[in-house]
Amino acid sequence: MGGKKKEAKEKPLDKMTAKELREVAKEIPGIVGVHSMNKLELLSEIKEARGIVDDGPQKDTGLIRSLKKQINELKDKRDAAIEAKDKDQMTILRRKISKLKKKTRRAA
């Protein structure tokens, strides 16, 4: 059991799971409410406590929202194409939706 904790300490914080981050956060006296925090909150609290400055890339939530809005609009069009039994249009819309989904994953 001691080996697992040692491995968790050697891992970079960003690669740890939320469970591992909670264990690390419990050991830091200034952090309260560890069990109700999600991974991002735990990361920021631990980095703040350790004095690590995080200037890494941030999510562009505006871009993600606009892409998801486009996906929903395309899904509505796809549903209409399904009812009209227009296979060519369904295929085109399905591919566009797939490309937009990939963009949202990359942006996240």
Q: Where are the alpha helices (DSSP H) in the chain?
A: 2-10, 18-27, 39-50, 61-84, 87-107
Q: What is the pLDDT of residues 56-85, one digit of tens each?
A: 666 667 888 899 999 999 999 999 999 999
φ, ψ for residue 71, nearest 5 deg? -60, -45
Among 23, 61, 58, 60, which residue's Cα sits nearest to residue 40? Answer: 58
Please give the structure tokens belonging to residue 40.
């991002």
89 band by pLDDT with thresholds 50, 70 and 90 = very high
- For the whole model, what pTM was predicted? 0.47
DSSP state of 16: S
